[in-house]
Amino acid sequence: MKDKVFLDTNVFIYTQSSIEARKRSISLRILGQQECYVSTQILNEVSNVMTKKLKMRTDEVVDLIE
């Protein structure tokens, strides 16, 4: 039986990291290989961090979340 993987905000944030290459690689691998679960709260936190702290455009964030 496979374990369910529930994602935290940081998994999404690390996918956009240019500084944390190892964490970025791991995050991308997790998202690509696992059946993952995420809550609406996590998606809201991700969009907030990406737009406020990472200064990403809203349309970029929407594309990533979708």
Report whether 36 contacts 30 (CB < 8 A).
yes
Q: How confident is the model at residue 4 (pLDDT cuts 50, 70, 90)?
A: confident
Residues 7 and 46: their CA atoms lie apart, in Å, by: 11
The 10s digit of each residue's pLDDT in 5-52 is: 789 999 999 998 888 999 999 999 988 886 888 999 999 999 999 999
Residues 6+ apart with CB under 8 A from 31: 7, 11, 15
Structure-block tokens of residue 17: 């990291």
Q: Nearest CA to 47 among 65, 33, 30? A: 65
Question: How high is the pLDDT of residue 62?
Answer: 93
Neighbour count for residue 5 (Cβ, 10 Å): 14
The 10s digit of each residue's pLDDT in 14-23 is: 998 888 999 9
